[in-house]
Amino acid sequence: MKHAAEPEVHASLSIFEKSCVYCGARFRVLAAQDADANQSRSYDCPACGKSYELQAAGEPEVRLLRGRTDGKDDHYQETMF
C-alpha cells in the first residue's frame, strides 16, 4: 500500500520585523526555513552593522524600514573579544 503523493515542500519563508538593540533602526528580515537545511546564519543591521543570528536555510535578506533613532552615525563595534 502506497502513500498518497505527499508534496516534498517543507520549505517556507519566515518574515519578521526587528528593532536593532543598538541603534533603534527598524528592519524586516526574510529567511528561508527548511528543517533539512537550516543552520546559523548571520545578518547585519542595515543602519549600524550590528550582527544578529538566526536559523535559516539560506542567506537572510534584510530591508531597512526606518532609520536609526539614536541620532548617531557611528558603526557598531563588537568590542567583546
Residues engaged in binding Zn ion (CB under 5 A)? 20, 22-23, 25, 45, 47-48, 50
> Is residue 77 exposed (0-12), middle (13-18) or buried (19+ Cβ within 10 Å)?
exposed
**Judged by CB, which is closer to Zn ion: 47, or 57?**
47
In the complex, the smallest distance separating the C-beta of residue 45 from Zn ion, rounded to whole angstroms, is 3
What distance in Å separates the CA atoms of residue 44 and residue 50, rounded to the nearest whole number? Answer: 5
In the complex, the smallest distance separating the C-beta of residue 81 from Zn ion, rounded to whole angstroms, is 19
In the complex, the smallest distance separating the C-beta of residue 20 from Zn ion, rounded to whole angstroms, is 3
What distance in Å separates the CA atoms of residue 12 and residue 2, rounded to the nearest whole number? Answer: 26
